[in-house]
Amino acid sequence: MSACRHFFLEIYFYFLYGTLQRSFGANILIISITNQKGGVGKTTTAVNLSAALALMGKNTLLVDTDPQAHSTVSYIKNYENVKKSIYDVMINPDNNVEDIIMRSSVPGLDVAVSKISMAKLEQSLIGEIDGHYRLKDILMPVRKKYNFIIIDTPPALGLITLNCLVAATHILIPIQSSYLSLEGTDDLLETVDKVRKIANPQLKILGVLITLHDKRTNISRDVVNRITEVFGRSVFNTMISKSVKLEESPAYKESIFTYAPFSVGAIQYKELAMEVIKRAQN
Ligand SMILES: Nc1ncnc2c1ncn2[C@@H]1O[C@H](COP(=O)(O)OP(=O)(O)OP(=O)(O)O)[C@@H](O)[C@H]1O
Ligand SMILES: [Mg+2]
């Protein structure tokens, strides 16, 4: 066979393989960013990790399941005009999930929006035997469009978080580098085990992310050592430092990559995305 034909055949198989992978959603990663502790950087991580993945050419869907809707507000400009949200699709699967997915300002990043009504989910699904499968079911028709689905979860281990862990292939646990940061992780790991037993045996821990780190303080250094003792190699090499730019960017409805592209936060979230992609391949 001529070198030229060989070359074109290789290109053909490369694209065919790529298309097949995409069409069956074979390698999709659905990552639930979860810790029932409040204010540990779940939303900041969901918003900026999803932007980083999209900017690296990965079609990404950010799913906001928190009634506080901070991920949604971080990207969607006329939030007041949003009528339907993930709540409406989860309580009534006849509603189309595509109707609550919006384009963000980041190329390649879509957002499934949340609203405060999500706080009623638990009450609305009482007595429904498939109550904890709802998120998994509604994501099924859109899985093939994305390489990554990133789920922002509320600070609780109730039915919403249960839905997220049932729908996910992986969990990413952000832990703030502060005093008492490990408190509650036993309950979280117990929940992960329960979910594996009853509904999602494939659920894996993608990694533990140290957030809000301040390397100047002794306490932060001690906490990093303790987290590493407990979680070992699960801890991402990348740590997210405390940074004013990361705190400011949601108010301007931007990810850190447009708000402050050369800041420490932008560099660290890009490094995290590269680690996530690497772990995804293993
Ligand atoms: N690396 C950081 N540097 C500075 N501020 C940060 C950083 N990460 C998060 N914050 C700020 O800390 C607060 C809590 O962060 P975030 O909302 O991401 O946490 P969360 O775990 O999603 O909170 P909740 O449990 O309420 O959903 C926010 O005001 C956010 O802007
Ligand atoms: Mg949050």
Q: What is the largest CA-CA distance in the chain?
A: 67
State if residue 42 touches ligand 1 by the CB under 6 angstroms criterion. Answer: yes
Cα of 277 to ligand 2 centre, how many Å?
A: 23
Residue of the CA atom closest to atom 31 of ligand 1: 247
Residue of the CA atom closest to atom 16 of ligand 1: 41
> Hey, what long-range contacts does 228-232 have (CB within 8 A, 24 or more apart)?
230/182, 230/185
Cβ atoms of residues 144 and 25 within 8 Å: yes
Q: In what order do the strands lie in the sheet with 29-33?
A: 101-103, 109-112, 60-64, 148-152, 29-33, 170-176, 204-211
Question: What's at 143, amino acid-wise?
Answer: R
Reading the block at residue 232, the tokens are: 């070992």
Cβ atoms of residues 96 and 166 within 8 Å: no
Instruction: Count the helices and strands in the chain (H runs, E runs).
Output: 12, 7
Label each residue of 173-218 as H, E or C. Answer: EEEECCCCCCCCHHHHHHHHHHHHHHCCCCCEEEEEEEECECCCCH
What span, in angstroms and rounded, lies between the C-alpha atoms of 157 and 258?
Answer: 33
Cα of 48 to ligand 2 centre, how many Å?
A: 12
State if residue 242 touches ligand 1 by the CB under 6 angstroms criterion. Answer: yes
Buried b (16+ CB within 10 A) or exposed e, 69-106: bbbbbbbbeeeeebeebbbbbbbeeebebeebbeebeb
pLDDT in tens, the chain (282 residues): 444 433 333 333 333 433 334 333 457 999 999 999 999 999 999 999 999 999 999 999 999 999 999 999 999 988 888 999 999 999 998 999 999 999 999 999 999 999 999 999 999 999 999 999 999 999 999 999 999 999 999 999 999 999 999 999 999 999 998 888 888 899 999 999 999 999 999 999 999 999 999 989 998 999 999 999 999 999 999 999 999 999 999 999 999 999 999 999 999 999 999 999 999 887
Cα of 246 to ligand 1 centre, how many Å?
A: 9
Cα of 37 to ligand 2 centre, how many Å?
A: 10
Which atom number of ligand 1 is nearest to the Cα of residue 212?
Answer: 1
SS3 100: helix
SS3 229: helix
Ligand 1 pocket test: pick from 33, 37, 43 the residue with the most ligand atoms within 8 Å of its Cβ.
43
* pLDDT computed for residue 26 by the predictor: 55
How many CB atoms lie under 10 A from the CB of residue 228? Answer: 14
DSSP assignment, residue 54? H
State if residue 155 touches ligand 1 by the CB under 6 angstroms criterion. Answer: yes
Q: How many CA atoms lie within 13 A of 115 on its CB side?
A: 16
State if residue 40 touches ligand 1 by the CB under 6 angstroms criterion. Answer: yes
Q: How far apart, in Å, are the Cα atoms of 159 and each of 92, 118, 146, 166?
A: 16, 11, 25, 10
* pLDDT computed for residue 4 by the predictor: 42
State if residue 213 touches ligand 1 by the CB under 6 angstroms criterion. Answer: no
Cβ atoms of residues 169 and 29 within 8 Å: yes
Question: Considering every ligand atom, which ligand is closest to the CA of 243?
Answer: 1
What span, in angstroms and rounded, lies between the C-alpha atoms of 230 and 221?
Answer: 15
Map out the domains of the chain with their CATH numbers. 27-281 (3.40.50.300)
